[in-house]
Amino acid sequence: MSVLDWGIIAIYGLVVLGIGFRASRKQTNTDEYFRGERQIPWWAIGLSIIATSFSAASLLGGPGEGFNHGFLYLQLQLGDLVGYLLVIALFLPFFVGLNLTTAYEYLEQRFDTKTRALGSLCFLLFVIARLGGLLYAAALVVATVSGLPLWGAILLVGAVSVVYTTAGGISAVVWTDVLQFAMIFVGLAAGIWAAAVGVPGGLGQLWQAAGEGGRLTLFNPSWEPDSIRALPTALVAYGMLAFAVAGTNQQSVQRYVSCADEPSARKAILLGWFSGFVGVAATLLLGVLLFGFYQINPGLPEDTAPDGILPYFIVNQVPAGASGFLVAAIFAAAMSSIDSALHSLATCMTVDFYQRFTRPAPPEARSLQVAQGLIVIWGILGILSALYVASTGEALLPFLIKYTTLFLGPLLGIFLMGVLFPRANANGAFYGTIAAAVVLAVGSSTGWLSFPGIWQSAIAAPLAVILGLVISYFGAGPAERSLQGLTLWHRNKTI
């Protein structure tokens, strides 16, 4: 890393902090802090939606995936489209029409307080597990290129993210996400350029070498339930996982409810999907070209992990200037996910627990202080989680998929019961979800119920619905006030 590289990274960091502190001038109430008073442009929210999920794990894991398997991972973007379309059709009218701040407020209106608390708790557990992976991914690159110890890099990335997120609220998160997503593409372009100028024949030679190595296949239509690189698995299993992430995850829902109205939220979602498709394709393309690069220029150590291919390339092949943009892009990818995780955690804790259970109702100024304090607390816990991830040595993409399915599959079942099944009552939703989680946990640990991890959401959600309905039929039906405007069949009665 040259002085020029560090200068690029420093300028980027200062701009991000500047956005955060500029946004902090508006933070006078919780509606501005949590939803930007619904005045943020839909296109900025759309880019923020994908920037949130496009983490440093994606920017490190994507090139590693492309290097080893070509473009097959791109099939998962079709599953993402399935998930987003289901959110638009089933959940979005309720999230926006009911003027919610968190997704889990819907669960209390449709069921009861304990179901809302359960939903919020599932989300909190999911995000704190994911947060460790996000911090670790960024810190891995910082440590590789700077010589810092890994623990020091984790502290550095975590501290910067906490500072601007605490200061600026959702407005800072969204606008820094826009900048960060742009920086990701600048970094990817710098990496592609560095690979192209590193071989005599440029891009054409790299593409030819990748083709000879079998890295240009786009689709695998075979039935391979264990493989995320098979089209049926991408559409069904990953589609349900994407539905759970986009439809029940407060990080996504907070973007929808920050839009001015439902049409704006729809446009934001579709822009987010398209931007994500382009972004994933670009990371895979870089990995495919790196495969061609190292076929022509041998030298990559055989024991290099997939997540370490891009850092190795940056350190050993990328010229001054381009290295700075690539590392800044990885910072950007990391912080665009970390800031969203921290802010959504604070939102859920403040709205679903502090404001809900504090009596008398706390004043706005106090709630705002609590939210900002929670971001700091969750930032510290996230740093500790990152240190745990670093000690396990797990690959990043499988780690994130594992913990996503563990918590969000059952959570999806609760929302499906609420929206699609008027007969589902509060006890059915609550105890059916817990029962489903227990069945899956016991079945997986004992071996009598075995299935690939990515299918967990596709199995957990229907199982929760079935068990919830069975339990519901042993009790009374829900009151009319729990249905009007709160199910797909009663939607037009109040919304």
Express each pLDDT in 26-63 by its tens digit. Answer: 666 788 888 877 888 999 999 888 887 777 667 778 89
Instruction: Judge whether 490 lies within some domain.
Output: no
Instruction: Judge whether 109 lies within some domain.
Output: yes
Is it the case that residue 309 has pLDDT exceeding 80?
A: yes
Q: What pLDDT was estimated at residue 393?
A: 59
Mean pLDDT of 407-427: 92
Is it the case that residue 395 has pLDDT exceeding 60?
A: no
- More confident: 33 or 348: 348
Find which of 41-55, 148-162, 202-216 is predicted with most confidence, using mean pLDDT.
202-216
Instruction: Judge whether 456 lies within some domain.
Output: no
Q: What pLDDT was estimated at residue 56?
A: 67
Mean pLDDT of 430-455: 78
Instruction: Judge whether 444 lies within some domain.
Output: no
Instruction: Judge whether 451 lies within some domain.
Output: no
Burial of 442 (0-12, 13-18, 19+ CB in 10 A): exposed
Mean pLDDT of 378-391: 78
In angstroms, rounded to a whole number, what is the distance separating the alpha carbons of residues 22 and 257?
22
- More confident: 426 or 142: 426
Instruction: Judge whether 469 lies within some domain.
Output: no
Residue 98 is part of which domain span? Answer: 3-409
Instruction: Judge whether 485 lies within some domain.
Output: no
- More confident: 318 or 141: 318
Q: What pLDDT was estimated at residue 65?
A: 92
In angstroms, rounded to a whole number, what is the distance separating the alpha carbons of residues 25 and 30?
13
Is it the case that residue 447 has pLDDT exceeding 70?
A: no
Q: What pLDDT was estimated at residue 428?
A: 95
Is it the case that residue 424 has pLDDT exceeding 80?
A: yes
Whether this model's pTM surpasses 0.85:
yes
Q: What pLDDT was estimated at residue 336?
A: 75
Distance (Å) of CA 42 to CA 39, 260, 269? 9, 8, 9
Summarised one tens digit per residue, pLDDT across range 465-493 is 999 999 999 999 999 889 999 999 887 65
Q: What pLDDT was estimated at residue 495?
A: 45
Mean pLDDT of 8-20: 82
Number of domains in the chain: 1
Instruction: Judge whether 482 lies within some domain.
Output: no
Mean pLDDT of 236-257: 90
> For all residues of the chain together, what is the average pLDDT?
85
Q: What pLDDT was estimated at residue 115?
A: 95
Q: What pLDDT was estimated at residue 75?
A: 94
Mean pLDDT of 107-124: 92
Mean pLDDT of 1-30: 79
What is the band of 5 on the pLDDT scale with cuts at 50, 70, 90?
confident
Is it the case that residue 22 has pLDDT exceeding 80?
A: no
CATH number at residue 131: 1.20.1730.10
